[in-house]
Amino acid sequence: AQTVTQSQPEMSVQEAETVTLSCTYDTSESNYYLFWYKQPPSRQMILVIRQEAYKQQNATENRFSVNFQKAAKSFSLKISDSQLGDTAMYFCAFMKHENTGTASKLTFGTGTRLQVTL
Amino acid sequence: EAQVTQNPRYLITVTGKKLTVTCSQNMNHEYMSWYRQDPGLGLRQIYYSMNVEVTDKGDVPEGYKVSRKEKRNFPLILESPSPNQTSLYFCASSLRGQGLPYEQYFGPGTRLTVT
């Protein structure tokens, strides 16, 4: 079974600054995918960024980027130029690759609540 | 607009009174899933379905039932709700297929309180 650990329950950052959210995972799988989801106060789950484990290059999406360290089983999220709208709960999630091509469940961490302040 | 809808969005009920939370998607997705979200525990999968009439247990299935009679609908049934089922529930759906995992689209959530 896979586990995902987010060791920072809460974080705070000032507007326009950079913040990094940590995530580690444990798995015996060699092929898998990692995700960061954002959950604003509206409670909607929004996909922020995705990383394929077989890719060495770190994924980026505008102000969001990841630092993927496969050997260390670490997958941190960096938010640059933080904005008030980034205030949300952030969940790290793991999905194993299914050779049969079927969809697979997401295993989530416990979340990091990020507050962006003026 | 492509979306996953859930009803009701909020529900307060009493112990033992059967209830159903509906989930519907308009994207012709094969895969559908239910998660519950609890403070300090993140989201955990309850049940999932790979296609019509194909369902299976997730990590926390006790006390829940599901059915998949139509591709678009995947209701979550609590036959005899108990207070420990008070939670925020999410339905999600995605395509199936080879290659990259398709994005899972989440519904808006249902806040359930069982007294």
Could you count the other beta carbons within 10 Å of the beta carbon of residue B98? Answer: 9
Question: Which residue of chain B comes nearest to A40, CA vs CA?
Answer: B108
Provide the residue-wise pLDDT of chain B in tens; the chain has 115 residues: 889 999 999 999 999 999 999 999 999 998 999 999 999 999 999 999 988 999 999 999 999 999 999 999 999 999 999 999 999 999 999 887 655 667 789 999 999 999 9
Q: Choose among A91, A95, A97: nearest Cβ to B42.
A: A91
Asked if pLDDT for residue A98 goes beyond 80, the answer is no
**Residues 49-68, chain B: which have Cβ within 8 Å of A?**
50, 58-59
The per-residue pLDDT for B58 is 93
Q: Which of A35, A96, A99, A102 has the most B C-beta neighbours within 10 Å, making it the best mutation to test the interface with B?
A: A102
d(CA A116, CA A111): 16
The per-residue pLDDT for A38 is 97
pLDDT digits (tens, 9 = 90+) for A14-32: 999 999 999 999 999 888 8
Alpha helix positions (H), chain B: none
Mean pLDDT of chain A: 93
**Residues 58-117, chain A: which have Cβ within 8 Å of B?**
91, 93, 95, 97, 101-106, 108-111
Sorting pLDDT into bands at 50, 70 and 90, what band is A100? low
Quote the Cα angle for B15-B8-B29, to 5°.
120
The per-residue pLDDT for A102 is 60
Asked if pLDDT for residue A101 goes beyond 60, the answer is no
Quote the Cα angle for B66-B104-B81, to 5°.
30
Subunit contact A103:B31, Cβ cutoff 8 A: yes
Query: B24 vs chain A: nearest CA distance in angstroms?
Result: 16
- On chain B, the residues whose CB falls within 8 A of the CB of A95 are 101
DSSP E strands, chain A: 3-5, 10-14, 19-21, 24-26, 32-39, 46-52, 60-61, 64-69, 74-79, 88-96, 107-108, 112-117
Asked if pLDDT for residue A53 goes beyond 80, the answer is yes
Cβ within 8 Å of residue B54, ≥6 positions away: B68
Contact criterion met (CB below 8 Å) for A48 and A111: no
Asked if pLDDT for residue A92 goes beyond 70, the answer is yes
The per-residue pLDDT for A99 is 66
End-to-end CA distance of chain A, in Å?
41
Residue A9: left if φ>0, alpha if ψ -120 to 50, beta else—which one?
alpha
Sorting pLDDT into bands at 50, 70 and 90, what band is A80? very high
- Residue the block writes with tokens 């194909």: B54
Question: CA A32 → CA A13, A81, B44, B66, B84, distances in Å?
Answer: 31, 30, 18, 27, 32
Contact criterion met (CB below 8 Å) for A46 and A39: yes
The per-residue pLDDT for A16 is 97
Could you count the other beta carbons within 10 Å of the beta carbon of residue A106? Answer: 27
Subunit contact B50:A111, Cβ cutoff 8 A: no
The per-residue pLDDT for B98 is 54
Asked if pLDDT for residue A12 goes beyond 80, the answer is yes
Does the CB of A45 have a partner CB in chain B at under 8 Å? yes
